[in-house]
Amino acid sequence: MDSHPEALKFYTVTNGPIFSTFIDGANRRSIATIAARSTNLGGLRTVAQADIIIADDKLRPQAVELYNAIFRPKRELEFFKRRFLGRYNSLTLIARVDDRPVGFWVGFELKPGMFYHWLGAVLPDFRRKGIGRQLQEAQQAWAKDHGYEYVRCECMNHQREFVHFAVTLGYDIVGIRWDSTHADNLVVFERNLIE
């Protein structure tokens, strides 16, 4: 870190990898790297090392491109800007592997003390490599550093991979509500950042 005079330690994720950042003097944006390994039933498996970037207004279109590569219907940047109107502490993270954007994570303050993970995904070819976990851990570390006690997220009941993902990361199911737009139950999760 001495090679970057403006560098400062940003986060340490407990029970996980070290999350650190420095301010890039040219672009004034935060850049973070998380390196991790995890075990699999067959032994040790390599997990991708992703650079987790806090996206500014110039980088947010990359998150929209990732969204459109994964979800339908496609959305424009204005869709995201409208969602952030009146929201406090909006955060967009982008995961990069070898300088290629491969995932994104978006959230904002839901209410004082609670940060809301609104949306996120990883490109199919980069799934099951720990990148979603790295994005989630970076978001939780950022939220905790900014005084939030809880992170909340929601998913449709049929999105079993995310249900499993949230429970594996220590989220509790705190509610279920009917979403008439999607004609499905919405599962509500929360994770205490203080415990």
Per cent of the chain over pLDDT 90 is 74
- Domain for residue 75, yes or no? yes
The string of pLDDT tens digits covering residues 105-160 is: 999 999 999 999 999 999 999 999 999 999 999 999 999 999 999 999 999 999 99
> What was the pLDDT predicted at 100?
96
- Domain for residue 134, yes or no? yes
Same domain, 125 and 158: no
Residue 69, domain extent? 8-148
Q: Is the peptide bond before 73 cis (omega within 30 degrees of 0)?
A: yes
Who has greater pLDDT, 157 or 30?
Answer: 157
- Domain for residue 1, yes or no? no
> What was the pLDDT predicted at 5?
30
pLDDT at 20 over 70: no
Question: Which CATH number do you get for residue 108?
Answer: 3.40.630.30
- Domain for residue 2, yes or no? no
Same domain, 49 and 114: yes
Q: Where are the alpha helices (DSSP H) in 34-171?
A: 60-70, 77-84, 131-145, 160-168
* Cα dist from 186 to 67, 89, 183, 194, whole Å: 20, 24, 9, 25
The two three-digit tokens of residue 115, written as one number = 């940060």
Same domain, 30 and 122: yes
Same domain, 136 and 180: no
The string of pLDDT tens digits covering residues 62-97 is: 999 999 999 999 999 999 999 999 999 999 999 999
Domain count along the chain: 2
Q: Which pTM value belongs to this model? A: 0.78
- How many Cα neighbours within 13 Å face the side chain of 168? 11
**Rounded-to-integer distance, Cα 161 and Cα 121, Å:** 11
pLDDT at 21 over 50: no
The pLDDT-based confidence of 19 (bands split at 50, 70, 90) is very low
Same domain, 57 and 84: yes
Same domain, 125 and 159: no
The pLDDT-based confidence of 195 (bands split at 50, 70, 90) is confident
**Rounded-to-integer distance, Cα 33 and Cα 17, Å:** 10
Same domain, 98 and 157: no
Who has greater pLDDT, 162 or 10?
Answer: 162
Contact 104, 61 (CB under 8 A): no
**Total residue count of the chain as it appears in this document:** 195
**Rounded-to-integer distance, Cα 67 and Cα 73, Å:** 10
Same domain, 28 and 66: yes
Chain-wide mean pLDDT for the chain?
82
Same domain, 134 and 157: no
Same domain, 115 and 185: no
Same domain, 141 and 154: no
- How many Cα neighbours within 13 Å face the side chain of 70? 20
> What was the pLDDT predicted at 46?
58
Same domain, 164 and 124: no
> What was the pLDDT predicted at 60?
95
The two three-digit tokens of residue 16, written as one number = 């996980």
